[in-house]
Amino acid sequence: MTTTAVRATARESAGIMPGAWRIGLLRGALEIKQFFRLREQVVFTFSFPVVFLFLFASIFRDRVGHTGVTASQLYVPAMMASGIMSTSFQSLGISIAVERDEKVLRRLRGTPMPPAAYFLGKIWLVLFTAVLETAILLAVGTAFYGVHLPSDAGRWLDFGWIFVLGLTGCALLGIAISSVPRSAKSASSVVVLPFLVIQFISGVYISVDTIPGWMLDIGALFPLKWLCQGLRGVFLPDSAKVLEQAGSWEFGRIALVLAAWCVGGSALCLLTFRWKNRRDG
């Protein structure tokens, strides 16, 4: 009993809790390590948009009207946006649902890990994979499909904020949808269907000037449409503006909508996030 008392007393005098930021970094490193150990997942995540880019950009390669761009060029920013959403929305939506169902989340909740560290870890993973994915698509796009990297710093700055805001919005939407599937088994179907639909109505597979207005209006409620539009604005010549619904790139509105998604998405996640699945109460 004496030793117990000494232990307990000693415990309370010391004990500095490791900070959320530092644990978040550790979790990020761990998430990335786990991600790259699942070789199939790595191959499919990174090759999916590249394969689609190859297919679409090779099938549709004609000049588009008087825009001065080819259909192939249009598909490069579209697939970049799709890749950003798949590494954030799709991967988080599925992986968090699986971790919840397999009680990984409950186990973490039983430790003194600060909840923020879990999300920081996911952010590092998403940032890492999205940067890699975007770089691959950009390399393929410039090498084979006639996309030119912008030469002025202003465009790169635009690219920076569009990438960060778009990625954050999609990631938050992914965290939110992870609470919808009832089990790990249903997670991918629950996440993939809305992702596919959103891609169609946001101008990923089909050019925005072909999609019916009402569909595009629904697409405009989600971040992907604005991410696509922003990336077109960055990587296509200004002559291609005529294809847009508004006839311009609307950078101001893109910033507004994506920022709203970051704020609204955070609120949605805070309200709906659960550490246990429904069966566990």
The residues binding other proteins (CB under 8 A) are 1-9, 11, 14-18, 23, 26, 30, 33-34, 37-38, 102-104, 106-107, 109-114, 276, 281
Based on CB atoms, which residue is closest to other proteins, 63 or 109?
109
For residue 177, give Cα distances in angstroms to 81, 98, 166, 190: 19, 12, 17, 8
Please answer whether residues 53 and 137 qualify as being in contact, where contact means their C-beta atoms are separated by less than 8 angstroms. yes
Cβ nearer to other proteins, comparing 148 with 276:
276
Q: Name the strand (E) or helix (H) holding 73.
A: helix 71-85
Amino acid identity for residue 195 in this structure = F
Residue 229, C-beta contacts closer than 8 angstroms, at least 6 positions apart: 203, 208, 244, 249, 250, 254
The smaller minimum CB distance to other proteins, of residues 21 and 156, is found at 21
Containing H/E element for 7? helix 2-13
Both tokens of residue 168? Answer: 């954050």
- In the bound state with other proteins, the residue whose beta carbon lies nearer, of 26 and 215, is 26
Measured from the CB of residue 101, what is the shortest distance to other proteins in angstroms?
Answer: 10
Shortest distance in whole angstroms from residue 12 CB to other proteins: 9
Question: Are the beta carbons of 173 and 195 closer than 8 angstroms?
Answer: no
Query: Which residue, 26 or 50, has its beta carbon nearer to other proteins?
Result: 26
| DSSP helix/strand/coil, 182 | coil
CB of residue 192 to other proteins, shortest distance in Å: 22
31 residue type, one letter: E
By beta-carbon proximity to other proteins, the closer residue of 5 and 246 is 5
Cα distance between residue 82 and residue 86, in whole Å: 6
Q: How far is the CB of 10 from other proteins (least distance, A)?
A: 9
Residue type, 241: K
CB of 177 to other proteins, least distance (A): 22
* Nearest residue (CB) to other proteins, 12 versus 62: 12
Nearest to other proteins of 6, 221 (CB atom): 6
Euclidean distance between CA atoms 271 and 265, whole angstroms:
10
Report in angstroms how near the CB of residue 186 gets to other proteins at its nearest.
19
Closest distance of CB 254 from other proteins, Å: 37
- The whole-angstrom separation of Cα 67 and Cα 240 is 5
Crossing angle for the helix pair 71-85 and 153-177, nearest 10 degrees? 50
In angstroms, the CA 232 to CA 76 distance is 9
As measured in angstroms, the least distance from the Cβ of 8 to other proteins is 6
